[in-house]
Every structure is written in structure tokens, then in C-alpha cells.
Amino acid sequence: MTPAIISPEIQAAYDRFPASLRNGAMVLRALIYETAKGIEEIDAPTECLRWGQPSYITPIGSTLRIGIPKSGGFALYAHCQTTIISQFSQVFGADYNIEGNRAVTFQSIDDIQPKKLRLMIEHALTYKRKRK
């Protein structure tokens, strides 16, 4: 179960999404929490605001943000100086709209494809983990 949004500031950030995009943003939020549950080294991501956008970080990960790109729709952003988006794009680039090395963008909830996107989310949430 996805935790309730506790912070009024984070709730306000989601409330600023147009109604037609808010559900998609909330699906991404839920997918981040669901993915984190399956990662042994972490409990749940910390939810905060970065650049005015709902953001999710773990002690062994890199920040994921949910926002609205200039091109429209809604997006899941990763830090542009990581390989998170580029590696995801190498595998699933044909299945998604990728914005450079910083975002995967969506026009509707149907574009999310949770099984595939979970791989990117897990990569982000564990980005700093020491690999064996």
C-alpha cells in the first residue's frame, strides 16, 4: 500500500498538476514505493521537494522526481549526470518517449508500462549501492 502524503507542501505540488495528469503522477509515485518494497537494503524512499517537484531518494540511490515537462504530459526525472535514463533508453527506448538523459515522459497512464519502468526505478533507488 502506498503511504499517504504527509507533507502539505508535497500535496500542494501534486495539486498543481492539471487534473488530467495528476492520476498519472500518482501512479508513478505508487510505483516508486512498490518498487522500493522489493529492495532489501531500503525501507521506503524519503519523499521531499526538489526544484518544486515531488522527489524520492534513498540512502543508496539517486533522486527521482515527478514533474511536468515543457513538452506536456508528465515525467519521471532522474539526475542528468547519472546513467539511469541512458541505460533504460538502451533497453526500452523504443517503448518510451525519452527526453535526453534526464526524463521518461508520458502522455497518459497507459504509457507507463509498470514492469519495464520498475527496472529504471530500482536502478535509481539503488544507484550508489556497491555492486559485487
Listed in order, strand segments (DSSP E) in 30-122 are: 46-50, 53-57, 64-67, 74-78, 97-99, 103-106
Q: What is the mean pLDDT of the chain?
A: 94
CA distances from 112 to 3, 5, 109 (A): 20, 21, 6
State the pLDDT confidence band at 132, using cuts at 50, 70 and 90. very low
Strands (DSSP E) found in the chain: 46-50, 53-57, 64-67, 74-78, 97-99, 103-106
The model's pTM: 0.95
pLDDT grade for 131, boundaries at 50, 70 and 90:
low
